[in-house]
Amino acid sequence: MIHPRQFMGAAILAGLLAGCATPPSTSVPPPVVDAAELQRQQLAAMPTLLREQAILERLESAQTPAQAKEAIALAQRFPMSRTSALYLPFVQAQARALNQAQAYDDSLALISATLNDLQLPIRLPEEITLTRLKIQAQDALGQDVKSLKDLIYISALEGLDKLPENQAEIWRRAQQAIGTELDSQRSEFNGWIALAQVLSQPNPEQAMRLWLTQWRDHSANLALPAEVANLLDSSWPVAGKVGAILPLSGTLQPVGQSLLDGLIEQQLDSDSGELVIVDGAEGVSAALAKLNEAGVEIIVGPLPKEQVAELFELEPVQAVLSLNYLDPVADETSESARLIMGLAPEDNARDAARLMAAQSTERPLLLVPGDQLGERVVAAFSKQWAQHAETQPIIQTYLNDDQRQVVSQALGVSDSQTRHRNLEQQLGIELEFTPRRRQDIGSVYIYGDSIASAQLKPLLAFYYAGDLPAWIADVALDQNLDLVRQDLNGAYLVAMPWQLDNPGGNVLYQLGRDAWSLSQSLNGQLQAEYPGATGNWFKEGAQLRRKLQPALITQDQIRPILRIEGSYLSDLVLPPLAPTPDLDLLLQ
């Protein structure tokens, strides 16, 4: 007989065993979230600025193509607004990542769209960085000509600091592209290809001399590659002992002393050569005899034109670097080396014509003194202008005339007022009238000191020509400049390099410095152009000519403008005209 308690225990055990045999209840596992998707979700939840910073950091930190692709995917999932303060760094980082991921076409598209967007505040460092990334992509795609053109462009933007390394790379690429067909444009690119082709010509020496005559203003002249520089022969001796004939007594003594100070200062700075000094006031023959006795190889000077002519008539055996020009120019066929340098106003006029033609080929208005100096300026300007444009300069002279009348007449406003008065007389009534200036003028060149320039420039605005670019000459940077700077604010300037830092200083001292440097550099070193304090010097027959420094006069400084590839002989690409031009993209 089974006891009731035993029965209940068995029942309980059976129930427990049955419960254990029952399958467990099923539950749904949590979903597996992709790490990339989780990151996107986290980014989407971030404030905009933090999200932009995070994506920028991912782009910048990418070390491998795979990491670059992941960062690019995030950048494309969360595009950045063009108004963001991080937009330009974002574009640079994205372009770099695209290159790293070998997505070169996408990189070029992004960079080109950014550089061509005129609404973006792209500054010079950003433009250089983007263009270098563009070159990297072009190289990968085999677009050699395009990458060379872009390298030439940013070489001009980066200026003299990086000139040697940039030009070495440009020269290497130009030699690889000598088979490129050139067009009719006088561009920096064509000049480099033409220079590379010199070495493949039957007569490289002759081809090099021809290149120099055709590409005088080309940037390669700043540092000619050794392969072509060696083709330039020179009869100029290696500078050992230099003799200077200067007026060190008499009425020209202050002039001679300033020149001598510059010569000595530059000699000490360069630690080159030996200088022998004689007084030209004692006569050219006596001075030459002393220099012959001293055994000099080069003569610097004299300064007065009549003494220069007398020295050349004596046929010295030494090379001569005179400090004044002759009219007519000295015989270039002489067996002895003779070069003539000086501070001619024609240099300023020629450079102004080149720069103004790069801005506009409409007729230029010249406001010049009504004397022999003004005639020289007009002749030099007009000859240079004819090389760039078919229009004719408009010439207006001034002396002690009423400057208002001078400018009014030059701009045609006086004629407009005369026609108005005649019409009123014919009709017998008063007519409402606003005078009109002539509309065929594209720019204005003012040659005069600071006082004259400051009187003439404001009158352009007064007579409805304030929108025209006004250029002034280096002679305006005199001791009175600070008194009239306000009236010259916004004017373009053709100046000597030293004037940008020290307007109103001693120009003869600076000429002396350049004379010593040139005496040491003409033996194959003045290949095509020498950067000096008074200008960039280059040979033109028996004369040394100068290219000057373009700049802009502002309220508190003189701001240089960099020469880069342009429409005419690689002259300026000038900033757009505005009441206060922003030259940040063109400054050195």
* String of DSSP letters for 516-567: HHHHHHTTTT-SS-EE-SS-EEEEETTEEEEE-EEEEE-SS-EEE------S
* Average pLDDT rounded to a whole number, residues 494-502: 90
pLDDT at 233: 55
25-39, 258-272, 297-311: segment of lowest average pLDDT? 25-39
pLDDT at 571: 38
Residues whose CB falls within 8 Å of the CB of residue 321, separated by 6 or more in sequence, listed in order: 298, 299, 300, 301, 339, 340, 341, 515, 518, 519, 522, 544
Question: Cα separations (Å) of 215 from 190, 340, 534?
Answer: 10, 22, 22
Among 149, 113, 152, 105, CA closest to 130: 113
Tens-digit pLDDT profile for residues 189-214: 999 999 999 999 888 877 887 787 67
Task: Find residue 396's DSSP bridge partners.
Answer: 367
The CA radius of gyration of the chain, in Å to the nearest whole number, is: 36
Rounded CA gap, 370 and 575, in Å? 32
Q: What is the percent of the chain where pLDDT is above 90?
A: 50
pLDDT at 213: 64
Q: CA 337, 259, 510 angle in degrees (round to 5)?
A: 95
Among 159, 167, 92, 170, CA closest to 586: 159
Q: What is the percent of the chain where pLDDT is above 70?
A: 82
114-118, 442-446, 462-466: segment of lowest average pLDDT? 462-466
- Mean pLDDT taken over the chain: 83
pLDDT at 409: 82
- CB 97, CB 137: distance < 8 Å: no
Tens-digit pLDDT profile for residues 284-318: 999 999 998 998 888 999 999 999 999 999 988 78
Cis peptide before 531 (omega within 30 of 0): no
The H or E element containing residue 206 is: helix 204-214
- CB 192, CB 174: distance < 8 Å: yes
pLDDT at 575: 43
Top-confidence residue, 16 or 419: 419
Q: For residue 62, with 0-12 CB atoms within 10 Å meaning exposed, 13-18 middle and 19 or more buried, which class applies?
A: buried
Among 164, 275, 253, 270, CA closest to 521: 270
Top-confidence residue, 220 or 528: 220
Q: Is the CA virtual torsion 99, 100, 106, 107 positive or negative?
A: negative
What is the pairing mode between strands 536-540 and 543-547? antiparallel
Written as six digits, the tokens of 548 are 């000057």
- CB 527, CB 232: distance < 8 Å: yes
Top-confidence residue, 93 or 161: 93
Among 38, 58, 128, 150, CA closest to 100: 58
Question: Cα separations (Å) of 114 from 82, 89, 120, 230?
Answer: 10, 12, 8, 43
* Average pLDDT rounded to a whole number, residues 396-413: 81
Written as six digits, the tokens of 428 are 């017998």
| pLDDT of 143 strictly over 90 | yes
| pLDDT of 148 strictly over 70 | yes
Task: Please give the single-letter amino acid code of residue 465.
Answer: A
| pLDDT of 31 strictly over 70 | no
Tens-digit pLDDT profile for residues 554-564: 888 888 887 54
Rounded CA gap, 55 and 324, in Å? 65
